[in-house]
């Protein structure tokens, strides 16, 4: 079992497919949004763990080009541009932190999508400085949340947890920073595909 803080019951929005061998497979899709200055560990680490879990991950650039440069000069090629990546069939939106959070916060289309997801009780996850975007949109009101130290004032109306690594409240997951990446990613796996798979990955990855 992962030691996460869950202050409200997290409900699973699950699509299932039955394989020829009769086993039920849970099919989930996540979008990870990238802007120049994104924290590489928080994006790539999450993408890796989710794909290990069999979750479809679509990386989405908000820059207008597929090449996105991270905070430490690592350039990645996003799967799609925001304009070509609708949210149909998407189960969760993920925001990595880093200096690029300022660009995420300035992107009207992304913020509109976040508000729509929150209104429809669909999953949203943010790590490091990125919970700031959710807080400024009012999406953390009366919710427990964490963020990178120094960004607490942006979590408007939230019950700020200053000691937790990763917090789940309703359909919102927040985490503290680069050092909590695996915990954050495994929590996403647990919420989307169940505790057993998350624990299996944790053991295989020696986390």
Q: Which residues are catalytic?
A: 128
The token pair at 23 is 């086993």
How far apart (Å, rounded) are the C-alpha atoms in residues 173 and 158?
13
Dihedral, CA of residue 177, residue 5, residue 134 and residue 58, to nearest 10: 70
Q: How far is CA 19 from CA 24, 125, 146, in A?
A: 6, 29, 39
Tell whether the torsion through CA atoms of 40, 99, 164 and 197 is positive or negative. negative
137: phi then psi, degrees, rounded to nearest 5: -85, -5
Instruction: Name residue, tokens 């647990």.
Output: 190
Q: How far apart are CA 128 and CA 119, in angstroms?
A: 23
Record the tokens describing residue 86, joined without a space.
Answer: 């609708």
Q: List residues bridging with 70 in a β-sheet.
A: 38
- Please give the helix or strand (H or E) that residue 204 lies within, else none: helix 195-204
């Amino acid at each position: 079992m992962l030691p996460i803080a869950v202050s409200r019951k997290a409900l699973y929005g699950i699509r299932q497919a039955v394989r020829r061998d009769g086993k039920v497979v849970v099919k989930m899709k996540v979008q990870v949004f990238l802007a120049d200055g994104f924290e590489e560990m928080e994006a790539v680490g999450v993408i890796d763990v989710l794909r290990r879990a069999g979750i479809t991950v679509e990386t989405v650039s908000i820059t207008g080009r597929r090449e996105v440069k991270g905070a430490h000069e690592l350039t990645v090629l996003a799967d799609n541009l925001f304009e070509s990546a609708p949210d149909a069939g998407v189960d969760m939106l993920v925001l990595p932190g880093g200096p690029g959070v300022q660009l995420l916060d300035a992107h009207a289309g992304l913020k509109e999508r976040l508000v729509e997801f929150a209104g429809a009780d669909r999953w949203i996850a943010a790590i490091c400085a990125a919970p700031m975007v959710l807080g400024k949109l009012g999406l953390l009101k009366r919710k427990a949340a964490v963020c990178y130290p120094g960004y607490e004032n942006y979590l408007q109306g939230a019950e700020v947890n200053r000691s937790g690594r990763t917090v789940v409240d309703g359909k919102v997951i927040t985490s503290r920073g680069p050092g909590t990446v695996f915990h954050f990613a495994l929590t996403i796996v647990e919420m989307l595909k169940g505790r057993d798979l998350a624990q299996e990955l944790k053991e295989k990855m020696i986390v």
